[in-house]
Amino acid sequence: MRRPVIAANWKMHKTIAQALQFVKEFLPLLEGVEDRDVVLIPPFTALHALAETLRTTSIKLGAQNLFWEEEGAFTGEIAPSMVVDAGCTYVVIGHSERRKYFQETYPLVSKKVQAALTAGLIPIMCIGESLSERKKGKTFEVIKNQITEGLKGLQIQRSEQLVIAYEPIWAIGTGHTATPEQAEEVHSFIRELIRRTWGKEIANGLRIQYGGSVKPENMAELMAMPDIDGALVGGASLKPDSFARIVKYDQ
């Protein structure tokens, strides 16, 4: 059985002090929760402080991005080894906001996934279609291209090396959530693509998250679907009580 992975993507929110206050309030709310992976993904500035605070807990840290080179004249970028050094286990790659605002292409996403794997990080590779693409019936075509090109040439030996996050762009920050059945349909499609690429064993073990206006009120329904293995949570992860309720969806 796949272990759920529930991650809080704080995007460009929270100072160091605010991040530490969140953890102070959040940790007591998670007492007794041991059968799922919880990941906090703050801005780069808060990584070190949170790494120190979370050192004796089971909560993992993730970065929101990385660069594919280890060092060099790349002003403003962060190397994979620096992400590891900051205390991270996970890194988000290919988020729709990165693709939209920073023109991240399929080859670029692939290079970043490879760099993360080489550094020993677990990439959370984000994929998802726009509203117009869904209305035109292109959802599966878009997802197939994002999976095929994003993972092109990569070697995955174990299913736990990678997480895929299906985040329909039309549901991110809009308040509109894919129905559990809509999400499951795409998750099932993704798992079948992975089976064709790396075989049944990796496909059956690979964790696929759903993202897009996840809330405490809809988390249990989403997690009841057979191919949904967790969530990449945006706005609802910014408050300790809200995110704790999402993490404890079945309690």
Q: What is the pLDDT of residues 93-150, one digit of tens each?
A: 999 999 999 999 999 999 999 999 999 999 999 999 998 999 999 999 999 999 999 9
Number of H helices, E strands in the chain: 11, 8
List of domains in the chain: 5-247 (3.20.20.70)
Rounded-to-integer distance, Cα 181 and Cα 216, Å:
18
pLDDT of 66 higher than 90: yes
Tell me the Ramachandran region of residue 118: left when phi exceeds 0, alpha when psi lies from -120 to 50, beta otherwise.
alpha
Q: What is the pLDDT of residues 179-232, one digit of tens each?
A: 999 999 999 999 999 999 899 999 999 999 999 889 999 999 999 999 999 999
**pTM for the model:** 0.96
Name the CA radius of gyration of the chain, rounded: 17
Which residues on adjacent β-strands are paired with residue 63?
A: 91
What are the residue numbers of the active site? 95, 167
Q: Once rounded to an integer, what is the mean pLDDT over residues 155-178?
A: 88
